[in-house]
Amino acid sequence: MAPRTSPEISGMGHSMKRKEDPRFLRGQGRYVDDIVLPGMVFMDIVRSPFAHAKITKIDTARALKVPGVLAVITGETLAKFNLHWMPTLMSDTQMVLPTEKVMYQAQEVAAVIATDRYAAADGVEAVEVSYDPLPVLVDPFKALEPGAPVLRTDKKGKTDNRIFHWEAGDRQGTDAELAGSEVVVKQDLYIPRIHVSSIETCGCVADFDRAQGKLTVYMTTQAPHAIRTVFALVAGHVGLSEERIRIVSPDIGGGFGGKVPVYPGYVIAVAASVVLGKPVKWIEDRMENLQADSFARDYHISAELGAKRDGTMTALRIKTIADHGYTDAAANPSKFPAGLFSICTGSYQLGHAFAEVDGVYTNKPPGGIAYRCSFRVTEAVHAIERLTDILAHELGMDPAELRFKNFIPPESFPYHSALGWDYDSGNYAAALRKAMDRIGYAELRKEQAEKRARGELMGIGISSFTEIVGAGPSKQFDILGIKMFDSCEIRVHPTGKAIARFGTKSQGQGHETTYAQIVAEELGIPAAHVQVEEGDTDTAPYGLGTYASRSTPVAGAAGAVAARKIRDKARKIAAHLLEVAEEDLVWEPGKFSVKGAPQRSKTIQDIALAAYTNHPQGMEAGLEAVSYYDPPNLTFPFGSYICVVDLDRGTGEVKIRRFVAVDDCGNIINPMIVDGQIHGGLTMGMAPALLEEISYDEDGNIQGGSFMDYLLPTAMETPSWETDKTVTPSPHHPLGAKGVGESATVGAPPAIANAVVDALWHLGVRNIDIPITPEKVWRILHEKGVAE
Ligand code: MCN
Ligand code: CUN
């Protein structure tokens, strides 16, 4: 679709350069650690070497003698104010600092406040903690066995380690359908723990102003308003009521889901600032970030897919054990303990489906947050896309052909899925067809057959995923009871420039640019003259924040609706200025003109001036509007990815030769930014497919707790991504847009895993769990006698 606005206005469809980049590229961004306040002191944290232990003594005497150390805060200190425990976003409870026992390695045990960062670190070294180790549970299956030690002894009456049991769909109907299916493929899949590794770690500056009784917290958060409310609920009893709390989320160096939870460090820093009456800065180091912040994935999936001999899918049954660590600190909407995992029927017409998930406590850091995925969608997509490939191979069908056979057809939208979602729009076959044409699918299959005859290992993997983003409609979606609307407030100034404030918070996605483009599209004010602000709870309208690719579907929609309210008022003013009836005016981006007399017109700038200088009598002056947008549905972006791999028979290395990604996120606001989101997301999808994993030994010691062992992809490992698109607008979004920020991370892993298994299927390999490391492949090559 060609843009409706000129490049000067740069509304939707223009690849306008990012307004925020000049400051980022020049090193002039303002991140939390750039904030320096007068009299500021520093905090560092003592962490547990044990995964499960009783704390018998904390001796702070030596630490307090370290020059520069001002205070040591322990669980006992916080307990005096009843602040040693806090609620999680899933209504579980989490320790701020322990008074009895630690539950995972690297858990916070005490905090040292000092005049500088070095003294704080020396103080941490000098705190003496005595521990009495307790039996450790790292395996969620063992944790569920009868007789397993109960970890959450703080919960009265709790007799096991199960957090929740959740299910969706029709159990009996699915069982019956599977029992009668001509073919059933079954596969266990493990999707390991991984961790987002944003360039910027987490941290805050907590500043309690005793004179005003006001707390300001500059912090790395994706959801400042929700955090303010949580703080008010947690600390209201010590006088911190919500109007006295201001959360500021400054520039953020990557969030990816890891900056949604409330970490103990933030709360301790706030407590320290209240106690000392000084600003307190706390910034995690890289190891703390990797070892103690919330984790993603850790799903043990057992999936079965039934079909007819001709490949028609009949039923899907999935059972999952979800390892949440010692507390359920997932950042899910309240009613969705397993997130949006029930999108697991994917892009296919499946008459029957049933999914169940059991959440389990173990001696690991809190898990269950997302890693660039809308609440467990990655896990769901991995399951269905892997199963689809296994079914194709089992039936001797081409995986593309099997997908075409089962896709929900374009005319069936809105489509009601067996697990209860109403998919808004889609054209799955078009996306897959485009990806196949682009990569030359038929020729690749020929090449593969020739290579295989020569003993070379080449594989082609497809993933035709459906995402579900834009949480969400208030009838189903809330976090701690707060409905998941989002907001925008626009003010047009007398000279026709504007400021637009949103309830979300960019972490690198480019909101300052794309939100300005939305306002430009609707009002015709050049995007260059629309200043976008987010992240300051004292000024921005209340919103639930940026995660789950919800900014465009929810806050972006609020922006369009607020702009349209302004346009309605502008029309009244234009009618007054031109002395015609409102119905006689026609709008084009940037001006109203009189029907049949186009030379008689008023620009939005003329109208803005009049709103302050010459507004109609009886009308309020000014030109501003606010919208709290409650989305009628989620948006369902989708795509088809095809990956070609060559396996090195000497080293087991997986080489991605080509990767074509065709994405569909409906109407696009800024094509360059969307491309950037997809490029970044693909690399971030390759990471768990090939490299990243965090595991624990039997004693709960973390393996992969530093960048020596936790492998992040670099430019060296990243292939040259080939991207393309189809455009299927969302029928319910005011701009027809769907979210896109996470699509690539969701779609990429199964395409890569499917490609590797495709290269090895003829040798009897059905599945390799991600990450598909050279070691795993090398072992298989040796086992099958095909190593070089
Ligand atoms: N966009 C567009 N047209 C569309 C859809 C989106 O131009 N049809 C643009 C948006 O205007 C926005 C960007 O693409 O500038 C992403 O939009 P959206 O899909 O709405 O996602 P959010 O803005 O809500 O971003 C969240 C998403 C998530 S949840 C993760 S995790 C992630 C991601 O974004 N974290 C990121 N991308 C990231 N990119 C960077 N650089 N840093 C992160 O931390
Ligand atoms: Cu899903 S990780 Mo993002 O939602 O912040």
Q: What is the pLDDT of residues 736-785, one digit of tens each?
A: 999 999 999 999 999 999 999 999 999 999 999 999 999 999 999 999 99
Residue 534: per-residue pLDDT: 98
Contact between residue 414 and residue 348 where contact means Cβ atoms under 8 Å apart? no
Answer yes or no: is the C-beta of 311 below 6 A from any ligand 1 atom. Answer: no
Q: Which bound ligand lies closest to the C-alpha atom of 741?
A: 1
Answer yes or no: is the C-beta of 547 below 6 A from any ligand 1 atom. Answer: yes
Contact between residue 245 and residue 231 where contact means Cβ atoms under 8 Å apart? yes
* Average pLDDT of the residues in 266-270: 97
CB proximity list for 70: less than 8 A, separation 6 or greater: 41, 113, 114, 115, 276
* Average pLDDT of the residues in 400-413: 98
Handedness of CA 490, 494, 496, 498 (dihedral sign): negative
Residue 1 in this model has a pLDDT that exceeds 90: no
Residue 140 in this model has a pLDDT that exceeds 90: yes
How far is 547 from 473, CA to CA, in rounded Å? 15
Contact between residue 519 and residue 10 where contact means Cβ atoms under 8 Å apart? no
* Average pLDDT of the residues in 704-719: 93
CB proximity list for 778: less than 8 A, separation 6 or greater: 651, 652, 787
Residue 770: per-residue pLDDT: 98
Q: What 3-state DSSP class applies to 532?
A: strand
For residue 372, which atom of ligand 2 is closest to its CA? 2
CB proximity list for 394: less than 8 A, separation 6 or greater: 183, 185
List 415's β-bridge partners, or say none: 423
* Distance in Å, CA 663 to ligand 1 centroid: 14
Answer yes or no: is the C-beta of 551 below 6 A from any ligand 1 atom. Answer: yes
* Distance in Å, CA 185 to ligand 2 centroid: 31
How far is 602 from 573, CA to CA, in rounded Å? 9
Q: Which one of 89, 220, 252, 256 would you pick to mutate in the ligand 2 pocket, going by the greatest count of ligand atoms within 8 A of its CB?
A: 256
What band does 272 get if pLDDT is binned at 50, 70 and 90? very high
Q: Which residue has the tokens 């008689």?
A: 600
Whole-angstrom CA distances from 115 to 44, 67, 690 are 11, 9, 44
How far is 142 from 740, CA to CA, in rounded Å? 38
Identify the DSSP state of 690: I
- Helices 511-523/557-578 angle, 10° precision: 30
Whole-angstrom CA distances from 298 to 138, 192, 468, 702 are 11, 5, 20, 14
How far is 621 from 610, CA to CA, in rounded Å? 9
Helix ranges (H only) for 526-638 are 557-578, 604-613
User: Looking at beta carbons, which pairs linking 445-450 to residues 24 or more positions away fall under 8 Å?
Assistant: 445/398
Amino acid letter for position 607: I
Residue 102: per-residue pLDDT: 98
The DSSP line for 640-665 is: EEEEEEEE-TTT--EEEEEEEEEEE-
* Average pLDDT of the residues in 91-100: 96
Residue 235: per-residue pLDDT: 86
∠ CA 223-227-233, nearest 5°, is 155
* Distance in Å, CA 509 to ligand 1 centroid: 5
The number of CA neighbours under 13 Å toward the Cβ of 740 is 35
Whole-angstrom CA distances from 682 to 132, 152, 197, 727 are 45, 38, 15, 19
The number of CA neighbours under 13 Å toward the Cβ of 470 is 30
pLDDT tens figures, 436-460: 999 999 999 999 999 999 999 999 9
- Which residues, judged by CB distance below 6 Å to any ligand atom, belong to the binding site of ligand 2? 222, 255-257, 370-374, 547-548, 742
Residue 129: per-residue pLDDT: 98
Omega of the bond leading into 771 within 30 degrees of 0 (cis): yes
Q: Is 382 left (phi over 0), alpha (psi -120 to 50) or beta?
A: alpha
Helix, strand, coil in percent for the chain, rounding step 5: 30, 25, 45
Residue 415 in this model has a pLDDT that exceeds 90: yes
Residue 228: per-residue pLDDT: 96
Q: Which one of 468, 514, 677, 726 would you pick to mutate in the ligand 1 pocket, going by the greatest count of ligand atoms within 8 A of its CB?
A: 677
pLDDT tens figures, 613-641: 999 999 999 999 999 999 999 999 999 99
CB proximity list for 219: less than 8 A, separation 6 or greater: 32, 203, 204, 205, 206, 227, 247, 248, 249, 266
Amino acid letter for position 326: Y
Residue 236: per-residue pLDDT: 85
* Average pLDDT of the residues in 251-264: 96
Contact between residue 354 and residue 167 where contact means Cβ atoms under 8 Å apart? yes
- Residue among 759, 750, 749 nearest 780 (CA): 759
What band does 421 get if pLDDT is binned at 50, 70 and 90? very high
Omega of the bond leading into 414 within 30 degrees of 0 (cis): yes
Residue 370: per-residue pLDDT: 86
How far is 358 from 374, CA to CA, in rounded Å? 19
Answer yes or no: is the C-beta of 740 below 6 A from any ligand 1 atom. Answer: yes
Q: Which one of 372, 505, 509, 743 would you pick to mutate in the ligand 1 pocket, going by the greatest count of ligand atoms within 8 A of its CB?
A: 509
Q: Which bound ligand lies closest to the C-alpha atom of 470?
A: 1
Residue 224 in this model has a pLDDT that exceeds 90: yes
How far is 221 from 224, CA to CA, in rounded Å? 6
What band does 237 get if pLDDT is binned at 50, 70 and 90? confident
Residue 369: per-residue pLDDT: 87
Pairing type for strands 53-59 and 422-423 reads: unpaired
Burial class (CB in 10 A: 0-12, 13-18, 19+), 742: buried
What is the phi/psi pair of residue 94, to 5°? -135, 145
Answer yes or no: is the C-beta of 666 below 6 A from any ligand 1 atom. Answer: yes
* Distance in Å, CA 432 to ligand 2 centroid: 26
How far is 714 from 521, CA to CA, in rounded Å? 37
Identify the DSSP state of 461: E
Q: Which residue has the tokens 């539950």?
A: 103
* Distance in Å, CA 223 to ligand 2 centroid: 11
Q: Which residue's C-alpha comes closest to atom 2 of ligand 1?
A: 669
Whole-angstrom CA distances from 165 to 33, 140, 357, 521 are 41, 14, 6, 46
Residue 239: per-residue pLDDT: 85
pLDDT tens figures, 591-612: 999 999 999 999 999 999 999 9
What is the phi/psi pair of residue 33, to 5°? -70, -10
Q: Which one of 198, 202, 294, 372 would you pick to mutate in the ligand 2 pocket, going by the greatest count of ligand atoms within 8 A of its CB?
A: 372
Chain centroid, CA 453 distance in Å: 43
What band does 482 get if pLDDT is binned at 50, 70 and 90? very high
How far is 342 from 481, CA to CA, in rounded Å? 21
Please identify every residue annotated as catalytic. 222, 372-373, 742
pLDDT tens figures, 297-354: 999 999 999 999 999 999 999 999 999 999 999 989 999 999 999 999 999 999 999 9
The number of CA neighbours under 13 Å toward the Cβ of 22 is 4
For residue 741, which atom of ligand 2 is closest to its CA? 3
pLDDT tens figures, 426-438: 999 999 999 999 9
Residue 266: per-residue pLDDT: 97
How far is 757 from 189, CA to CA, in rounded Å? 13
Global pTM? Answer: 0.97
Burial class (CB in 10 A: 0-12, 13-18, 19+), 536: middle
Handedness of CA 76, 79, 84, 90 (dihedral sign): positive
For residue 198, which atom of ligand 1 is closest to its CA? 44
Answer yes or no: is the C-beta of 549 below 6 A from any ligand 1 atom. Answer: yes
